[in-house]
Every structure is written in C-alpha cells, then in structure tokens.
Amino acid sequence: MTENLNNYEFLPKNDYLLLKTFNLGFKNKQILIIIINREKSLNAVNIDILKSLINILKHVENDSNILSIILTGAGNKAFIAGADIKSMNTYHPEDAYKYSVLGQDLVKLINSFDKPVIAAINGYALGGGCEIATACHLRYASENSIFGQPEVKLGIIAGWGGTVNLKRVIGLGNATKLLISGDTINSDEALKVGLVNMVFPLENFLQSVIKEVKSFCKNSPNAIKNTLLSINSFNNDDPYKKESNLFRDSFKHEDSSIGLSAFLRKEKPEFK
C-alpha cells in the first residue's frame, strides 16, 4: 500500500486521519483506505474528523481511479468507539443540534455515495461509530468487534442517523432493542442479525477485507454506481431532521448532563 497521497493535500493539517491506497493492478485503479488515527482515544470521532471525512469523500467522488473506499480505525481495539464525549458534555441544546446535523451530513453522504464505502470494523463500533458503520454499504468485522448504541445510558439519543439507518439494516425489532436497551452485541450476534456481512479473524484482518473488496472492483464501475443510486433512493431528509430535533431536545433535559458527566467520571449515572 502507498501512503502520503499528493492528490489529497486538501486535508487539514492534523494526524487524525491516515490515507493509504491499494493498487488493483489494472488501469491505475485503486482502493482508498481511510484510517481514523486516534488509537489512544479508541478512535473517537470529533468535529475535525467529521469535517475531514466529508471533505475526503467529496473529493474522491469524482476521482475515476478510486473504485472503492474502506474506512477503518487505527490499532486493533476500535473501529470508532463513538463520538467525543468530553466535547459533548459541554454542549448546549443548539450545539448538540449542529453536531447532530454535521454527523448526519457524513452518514447521508456515505448513504448516497455512488462508489462502495466499506466499513472494516476492527473492534469497538459504539454510538457514532456504529452509526457510521451502519451508513456504509457493506460491513466486515473482526472477531473481537463489539457493536452498540449506548446513548440512552447517557441520557440522550442516537444523533447521527441511528434511528433512521439501523432499522433499515437489521429490521425494526432488532434496531429498537439496540437503541432503547443501550446493550452491546458481539461480531457473531451482529452477523446473525445482518449488521455485518462477514466476520474475519483479527490477524490479517484488513488484508482479508481488501481481498473481498477487490472481488467486486472488477465489475462495471458505472453499473455499480447506478446500482447504489437505485438502492439508496429510499433516502429522505425528513427522518434525519426529526432525529436532529430530538437529539437537540435531549440536551435540554437534565438526563444528558447526568449521563455524560457520569461517563467522564467513570461512574454509573443515576437518572432522576
């Protein structure tokens, strides 16, 4: 794989994201690999990362040499362990609404992307991490992966498309259970309910995902584009707007302060 792509100098000057390419061996075609690079923070996503991911995808969309995108996390403990709770704990309701809309801008862009976006889930995919993974067209998980939407345990709701996309992927009943219980499931359970497409051993995990992605990169890019556009025709902005409004409103309630603050203190919240 090749690093330090000259074509992507538009990236903000930070180390939160790493870009690599895998050459497919024909006509200079490549797979772009985007790595969330906050391993010490379990690759938690902050505002800078959200903006950078949106920026990258918008530029890559018109790059005919990139046939597919793989999104993964640094290390072997986490894909994306969630949103940045330290930042969220300071949010007023309107800050929360803007944060929700920004996260939804990313998941809607992934939803509607006309090249396959693949989540290579190498560990925790919680909260916003599960929402970003769910937005991707395909999800491949390592054996140690853990999935969940724990927002209700923090006194808030999923705000990056979780209440919209999860039910589409795993069905209303399974989605509702994950969203209102806040419980987690492992990779085997995720495979059973259809949250992931395949599970691989952690050893050589990314190479296994690349091998799968290579198999459909041989197909017609235009046919894939039109297939994805047809599949994604379900998209409607109304449920996203509704979710952002409810995400904002959850920050008006004291439960959000109780839950977020307790998390940072590593204590169990005591909701009134």
Give the number of other Cβ atoms within 10 Å of residue 226's Cβ.
Answer: 12
Q: How far apart are CA 33 and CA 186, in angstroms?
A: 24
Q: How far apart are CA 181 and CA 245, in angstroms?
A: 21
| Cα radius of gyration (the chain) | 18
Judge whether 131 counts as a catalytic residue: yes
- Closest Cα partner for 149 from 174, 121, 182, 117? 182
Q: Exactly one of 151, 189, 267, 270 is catalytic; which is it?
A: 151
Q: Exactly one of 94, 131, 203, 267 is catalytic; which is it?
A: 131
194's CB contacts (< 8 A; 6+ apart) are 169, 170, 171, 174
* Tokens found for residue 61: 């969309």
Judge whether 267 counts as a catalytic residue: no
Question: Would you please indicate which residues are annotated as catalytic (active-site) residues?
Answer: 131, 151
